[in-house]
């Protein structure tokens, strides 16, 4: 073993190895910087993947009492299962609080790769309708950059990650660098054609971070289906087997796992970060790492928790919080509006065999667009994710041989579920709970968020328009949901350290740098100014690459 990794001074310390941290480590180490990548969880290997293990080999077939006991919150996430629950945090060791009337479900992984191991992989660009939304409808503020500033970084990320999808030339959802799209089912094609003809709206195959042809040494998807349990061919994008692997290959990156960062250490006289302090997950020892810059990529709420826990005399309300806005403007997409139905005239003949397409369809936002104009009841909009596939009909009536036959005859279902924009709101925030610590003695968060009237109107409208579109496509037995699910449910939390040009009205500058502390960056979703309605991770990764390239330029100019 070479030098003790804790005795060196790194050019950059990256905290978190998930979707964004992996990119930061890759980009900075490939540019020649010496990087320490700190990850709170353990390492992961492909050998623990279980995507080819049938559920009847699980003792409780996904109703394990161990999951119920140790992951009462995590199991609200569909991806937290008897197969993989150890990837998710143990809720007993990782508490947070909420006001009783403002519940928030916080679903997170602490393992190399973070949530990129289980994410749904849907990847959509934002457009200037999102970046400049405030200019159009007067609510809140615009982002401090435009689509054209970010587009080259979307290209870089997509070309490397591998996004399969189809171009649509729709101004709400810019096209990107796509691998060949996955195919649509009969029901989906019928819906797509009907929606276009009747309403002029766009249905496209989901744009997903899964490679459909050999790509950067990864094999194409073999359509087994349950990606959230891992992928032995690394066909979907997860950071340990792509960005983190590349970073380590440079020889410039030192990975330190089981390192739970508690706070950023400051050089008070220089007003600069000089490293971070972490607690070893297994031994609970406290250690320090030194660095010329600190890049937080621990995911929005965790990065902000680290900053709030890094208060000094100069920054009593949290490091980099001279604006007082750190922790505020927490957002998560609103979900809960949906419509489903059956195509009774289409022969179902479901199959228990693969191929199982690990992807759905996407119905592009059509409310409050430049083309359509203002909606009378709400601002912003929503997109639908959904699909139409034949399925077995366990709900069939009857008993005996007739029932067995009816189950196999199946139903051809179709469904649309909305993801709506969550408005940036000062009153949705996180702070440190003075009475709560995690199992490592690190003060925990108190999260206070509720969806408002606009979000409720979006979901109500989504149920109505969803039903109208299914009806027009000839589907029968239409069923709706119109409510708003509790915040956190979409697992798209962003905000809490918004970017902006004005240090009084924002926490980070347009390159994710703290306005207050020039060598401190936060490049995960914390900096989002608005949530838009597209799944956020592609944008987080593009923002990370942009911020890292900017940091490298500053290193080259000796500004750090």
Partner 1 sequence: MDFPVQVTQASSAHSQAHQTSLSRRDLIRAALLSAAASVLGPSFSLAQAIESGLTPAARGEDGAAYLTDPHWKAAFLNDHQNETLIALSDVIIPATDTSGAKAALVNRYLDLLISVQPSEFQQEFLAALKFIDSESQAQLGKEFLELSLEDQTWLLKPWAYTQQSSHWTERNDPHAQPADLAQQHFHRLKTLIAAAYYGSEIGQKELGWDGEFTHGPYEGCEHSDATHS
Ligand X SMILES: Cc1cc2nc3c(=O)[nH]c(=O)nc-3n(C[C@H](O)[C@H](O)[C@H](O)COP(=O)(O)OP(=O)(O)OC[C@H]3O[C@@H](n4cnc5c(N)ncnc54)[C@H](O)[C@@H]3O)c2cc1C
Measured CA distances, 389 to 393, 410, 426 (Å) = 12, 10, 42
Instruction: Determine if 79 is a binding residue for ligand X (CB under 6 A).
Output: yes
Residues paired with 494 in a beta bridge = 331
Instruction: Determine if 118 is a binding residue for ligand X (CB under 6 A).
Output: yes
Alpha-carbon 504 to chain mean position:
28
Interacting partner of 352 out of ligand SF4, ligand X, partner 1, none (Cβ under 5 to 8 A depending on kind): partner 1
Q: Which residues bind ligand SF4 (CB under 6 A)?
A: 51, 210, 221-225, 227, 231, 233, 235-236, 358
User: Which residues ranging from 276 to 295 are in contact with ligand X (CB under 6 A)?
Assistant: none
Instruction: Determine if 242 is a binding residue for ligand X (CB under 6 A).
Output: no
Among 38, 346, 363, 497, interactor with ligand X by CB under 6 A: 38
Pick between residue 231 and residue 548 the one whose CB is nearest to ligand SF4.
231
Least separation in angstroms between CB 401 and ligand X: 39
Least separation in angstroms between CB 56 and partner 1: 5
Interacting partner of 236 out of partner 1, ligand X, ligand SF4, none (Cβ under 5 to 8 A depending on kind): ligand SF4
Interacting partner of 146 out of partner 1, ligand SF4, ligand X, none (Cβ under 5 to 8 A depending on kind): none
Distance CA 15, CA 554 (A): 20
Instruction: Determine if 21 is a binding residue for ligand X (CB under 6 A).
Output: yes
Pair 440, 279: CB distance under 8 Å: yes
Pick between residue 259 and residue 341 the one whose CB is nearest to ligand X.
259
What 3-state class would DSSP assign to 411? strand
Least separation in angstroms between CB 73 and partner 1: 17
Interacting partner of 210 out of ligand X, ligand SF4, partner 1, none (Cβ under 5 to 8 A depending on kind): ligand SF4
List the x/- string, 147-186, binding to ligand X by CB under 6 A: ----------------------------------------
Distance CA 405, CA 515 (A): 66
Interacting partner of 102 out of partner 1, ligand SF4, ligand X, none (Cβ under 5 to 8 A depending on kind): none
User: Which residues ranging from 467 to 526 are in contact with ligand X (CB under 6 A)?
Assistant: 491-492, 524-525
Least separation in angstroms between CB 540 and ligand SF4: 21
Least separation in angstroms between CB 262 and ligand X: 7
Instruction: Determine if 298 is a binding residue for ligand X (CB under 6 A).
Output: yes
Interacting partner of 227 out of partner 1, ligand SF4, ligand X, none (Cβ under 5 to 8 A depending on kind): ligand SF4
Pair 179, 163: CB distance under 8 Å: yes
Interacting partner of 398 out of ligand X, partner 1, ligand SF4, none (Cβ under 5 to 8 A depending on kind): partner 1
Distance CA 429, CA 366 (A): 29
Distance CA 258, CA 494 (A): 25
CB-neighbour burial class of residue 402 (10 A; exposed 0-12, middle 13-18, buried 19+)? exposed
Residue 467's closest CA among 457, 482, 456, 478?
478
Closest CB to ligand X: residue number: 18
Instruction: Determine if 77 is a binding residue for ligand X (CB under 6 A).
Output: yes
Here the tokens at position 479 are 């069923």
Among 12, 18, 204, 360, interactor with ligand X by CB under 6 A: 18
Pair 307, 321: CB distance under 8 Å: yes
Least separation in angstroms between CB 231 and ligand SF4: 3
DSSP structure string for 183-236: PPPHHHHHHHHHHHHHH---EEE--BSB-SS-BTTBPPP-----GGG--TT--B
Interacting partner of 231 out of ligand SF4, ligand X, partner 1, none (Cβ under 5 to 8 A depending on kind): ligand SF4
Residues paired with 171 in a beta bridge = none
Among the listed ranges 13-21, 159-167, 246-254, 463-471, the one in contact with ligand X (CB under 6 A) is 13-21
Residue 161's closest CA among 147, 173, 177?
177
Residue 187's closest CA among 473, 495, 440?
473
DSSP structure string for 262-286: EEEEEETTTTEEEEEEEEETTT--E
Interacting partner of 384 out of ligand SF4, partner 1, ligand X, none (Cβ under 5 to 8 A depending on kind): none
Q: Nearest-5° angle of CA 231, CA 234, CA 235?
A: 95
Distance CA 343, CA 482 (A): 22
Residue 11: enclosing H or E segment and its boundaries? strand 9-15
Least separation in angstroms between CB 164 and ligand SF4: 10
Residue 147: enclosing H or E segment and its boundaries? helix 147-161
Least separation in angstroms between CB 224 and ligand SF4: 4
Pick between residue 416 and residue 456 the one whose CB is nearest to ligand X.
416
**Residue 121 zone, left/alpha/beta (φ > 0; ψ -120 to 50; rest):** left
Instruction: Determine if 130 is a binding residue for ligand X (CB under 6 A).
Output: no
Please report, as ranges, the residues that interact with ligand X according to CB under 6 A: 15-21, 38-41, 77, 79, 107-110, 114-116, 118-122, 259-261, 297-299, 302, 306, 491-492, 524-525, 535-537, 540
């Amino acid at each position: 073993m070479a030098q003790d990794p804790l005795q060196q001074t790194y050019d950059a310390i990256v905290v978190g190895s998930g979707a964004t941290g992996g990119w930061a480590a890759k980009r900075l180490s490939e540019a020649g910087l010496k990087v320490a990548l700190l990850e709170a969880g353990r390492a992961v290997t492909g050998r623990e993947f279980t995507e080819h293990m049938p559920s009847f080999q699980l003792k409780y077939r996904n109703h394990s009492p161990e999951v119920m006991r140790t992951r009462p919150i995590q199991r609200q996430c569909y991806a937290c299962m008897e197969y993989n629950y150890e990837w998710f945090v143990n809720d007993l060791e990782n508490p947070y609080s909420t006001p009783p009337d403002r519940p928030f479900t916080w679903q997170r992984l602490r393992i190399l790769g973070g949530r990129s191991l289980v994410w749904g992989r849907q990847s959509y660009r934002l457009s200037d309708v999102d970046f400049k939304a405030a200019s159009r409808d007067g609510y809140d503020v615009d982002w401090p950059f435009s689509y054209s500033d970010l587009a080259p970084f979307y290209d870089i990320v997509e070309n490397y990650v591998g996004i399969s999808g189809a171009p649509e030339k729709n101004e709400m959802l810019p096209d990107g660098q796509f691998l060949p799209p996955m195919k649509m089912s009969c029901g989906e094609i019928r819906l797509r054609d009907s929606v276009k003809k009747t309403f002029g709206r766009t249905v496209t195959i989901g744009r997903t971070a899964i490679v459909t042809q050999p790509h950067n040494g990864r094999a194409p998807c073999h359509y087994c289906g349950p990606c959230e349990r891992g992928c032995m061919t690394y066909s979907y994008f997860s950071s340990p087997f792509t960005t983190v692997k590349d970073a380590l290959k440079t020889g410039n990156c030192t990975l330190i796992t089981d390192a739970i960062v508690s706070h950023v250490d400051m050089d008070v006289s220089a007003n600069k970060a000089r490293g971070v302090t972490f607690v070893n997950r297994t031994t609970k020892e406290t250690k320090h790492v030194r660095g010329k810059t600190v890049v937080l990529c621990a995911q929005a709420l965790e990065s902000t928790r680290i900053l709030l826990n890094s208060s000094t005399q100069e920054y009593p309300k949290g490091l980099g919080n001279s604006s007082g806005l750190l922790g505020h403007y927490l957002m998560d997409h609103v979900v809960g509006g949906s419509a489903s139905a059956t195509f009774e005239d289409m022969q179902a003949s479901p199959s228990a065999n693969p191929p199982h397409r690990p992807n759905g369809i996407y119905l592009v936002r059509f409310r409050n667009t430049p083309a359509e104009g203002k909606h009378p009841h709400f601002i912003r909009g929503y997109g639908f994710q959904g699909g139409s596939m034949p399925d077995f009909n366990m709900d069939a009536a009857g008993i005996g041989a007739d029932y067995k036959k009816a189950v196999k005859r199946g139903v051809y279902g179709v469904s649309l579920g909305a993801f709506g924009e969550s408005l940036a709101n000062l009153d949705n925030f996180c702070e440190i709970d003075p009475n709560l610590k995690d199992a490592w003695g690190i003060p925990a968060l108190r999260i206070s968020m509720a969806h408002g009237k606009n979000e409720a109107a979006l979901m109500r409208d989504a149920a109505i328009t969803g039903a109208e579109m299914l009806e027009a496509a000839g589907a029968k037995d239409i069923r709706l949901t119109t409510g708003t699910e509790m915040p956190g449910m979409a697992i798209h939390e962003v905000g809490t350290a918004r970017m902006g040009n004005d240090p009084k009205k924002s926490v980070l500058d347009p390159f994710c740098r703290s306005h207050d502390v020039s060598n401190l960056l936060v490049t995960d979703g914390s900096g989002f100014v608005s949530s838009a309605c597209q799944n956020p991770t592609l944008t987080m990764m593009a923002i990370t690459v942009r911020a890292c390239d900017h940091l490298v330029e500053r290193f080259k100019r000796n500004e750090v």
